[in-house]
Amino acid sequence: MQKHILVIPGDGIGPEVTTWGKAVLEKIAANFGHEFTFDEALMGHAGIEAIGNPLPDETLEKAKASDAILFGAIGHIKYDNDPSAKVRPEQGLLKIRKELGLYANLRPIMLFDELLDASSLKPEILKGTDILFFRELTGDVYFGEKKRSEDRNTASDLMIYSRYEVERIAIKAYEAAMLRGKKLCSVDKANVLESSRLWREVVQDIAKQYPEVETEHMFIDNAAMQLVKNPKKFDVVLTANLFGDILTDEASQIAGSMGMLASASIGDGTGFFEPIHGSAHDIAGQDKANPLASILSVALMLEISFGLKDEAKAITDAIDKTLKDGYRTGDIADANTDKTKILGTKAMGQKVLS
């Protein structure tokens, strides 16, 4: 198979972790006889630094011309503490999601048995958890009109959804539920929000086409609670952009660490694969970042964009073995970890490769 992959390292620990995602892709190509070609492009703070644009035109062109995109992370502390900055790294990520029509963000909560103890949740609560989140990614209050009054004393964002936006992601989520446990939980705040009431109406309509799937509607506050109380009860979770952002970060604690979670953004064209962790500037450049989420993002790419299931499995197996052998990065180590087996980014990447 011939594929062209664009790597966008981005900010913070992004470059460190995508290095290993790319290395794994090269190894897979060699072992399975594929031909993967690569290009690289700038986004986020890196784009602002280089040419003053968080999403350079060149990056967008390269993105559209590629078969899949491997992305690192975005954001910089400098902008976080300056709420009045006009140009922000995150604009690059939001714009590329919109431009590529990446309306569905899939976030599987995978649980490696070896990491059961790394979580703050009790192992018996976690064991058996297997959740697939469908987060809507190109609508909601993220993209609704933003306003600031002239005196700068009032600010607003429009939380808005249209029927077709909810329909297309609901269909993807139901299709996935049919291939899994046939349970779907749609999360909204329909007791307060009009946009959530539309969301619920549409999901109720789509649900009729999937009578085999058991549908539940849950308010976001309750969902945030249930996810900690009893994560096993969830199978597919379908939700809006903002609620999905919050719930999936929360759910990362189920997998032991954000450093273990990958995501796939899909839609009209090229797929986009990234860890769910952020740019983590506090540890950037220190060889401390966990490269496993980036490597797992590559597994998602192979499976979802290229249909290469065996290749994807080879990767998760390699990670499984590395963890079984006792190797950990700092974020997933616990009191029982053999101190000599706590690895940096590079050493962990090497272990998985070998």
Ligand X SMILES: CC(C)[C@H](C(=O)O)[C@@H](O)C(=O)O
Catalytic positions, written as ranges: 142, 189, 221, 245, 249
Q: Residue 196 and residue 186: Cα distance in Å, rounded?
A: 10
At closest approach, how far in Å is the CB of 193 from a copy of itself?
5
Q: Which does 324 bind (CB under 5 to 8 A by kind): ligand X, a copy of itself, none?
A: none
310 is in an annotated binding site: no
CA-closest candidate to residue 7, choices 38, 37, 28: 38
User: β-strands 183-188, 236-239: how paired?
Assistant: parallel
Using the minimum distance from each CB to ligand X, give the nearer residue, 54 or 349.
54
Sorted by sequence, the CB contacts under 8 Å of residue 328 that are 6+ apart come out as 118, 337, 341, 342, 343
**Residue 192 binds to a copy of itself (criterion: CB under 8 A):** yes
Q: Kindly report the backbone phi and psi dihedral angles of residue 75, in degrees, each rounded to the nearest multiple of 5, phi listed first.
A: 120, 155
Classify residue 156 as left (phi > 0), alpha (psi -120 to 50) or beta.
beta
Which residues from 74-103 bind ligand X, rule CB under 6 A?
74-75, 90, 93
On the 0-12 / 13-18 / 19+ scale of CB atoms within 10 A, 135 is buried
At closest approach, how far in Å is the CB of 245 from ligand X?
4
**Residue 342 binds to a copy of itself (criterion: CB under 8 A):** no
The site map against a copy of itself for 57-96 (x = CB under 8 A) is: ------------------x---xxx-xx---x-x---x--
Which residues from 18-77 bind ligand X, rule CB under 6 A?
74-75
> What are the DSSP calls for 29-90, one per residue?
HHHHT-EEEEEE---THHHHHHHS-SS-HHHHHHHHHSSEEEEEE---HHHHT-TT-SS-HH
221 is in an annotated binding site: yes
**Residue 283 binds to a copy of itself (criterion: CB under 8 A):** no
Q: Residue 278 and residue 259: Cα distance in Å, rounded?
A: 9
User: β-strands 262-266, 271-275: how paired?
Assistant: antiparallel
Give the CA-trace dihedral at 159, 165, 170, 172, to 10 degrees.
Answer: -130
Q: Which does 250 bind (CB under 5 to 8 A by kind): a copy of itself, ligand X, none?
A: a copy of itself
At closest approach, how far in Å is the CB of 79 from a copy of itself?
7
Among 31, 37, 162, 209, contact with a copy of itself (rule: CB under 8 A): 162
Using the minimum distance from each CB to ligand X, give the nearer residue, 265 or 322.
265
113 is in an annotated binding site: no
Q: Residue 218 and residue 243: Cα distance in Å, rounded?
A: 12
Q: Residue 100 and residue 125: Cα distance in Å, rounded?
A: 38
At closest approach, how far in Å is the CB of 168 from a copy of itself?
13
Detail the residues annotated as belonging to a binding site: 97, 107, 135, 221, 245, 249
Chain residues in the site for ligand X (CB under 6 A): 74-75, 90, 93, 191-192, 221, 245
Chain residues in the site for a copy of itself (CB under 8 A): 75, 79-81, 83-84, 88, 90, 94, 120-122, 125, 141-142, 144, 146-148, 152-164, 189-198, 200-201, 204, 217, 219-222, 224-225, 227-230, 242, 245-250, 252-253, 258, 278
Detail the residues annotated as belonging to a binding site for substrate: 97, 107, 135, 221
Detail the residues annotated as belonging to a binding site for Mg(2+): 221, 245, 249
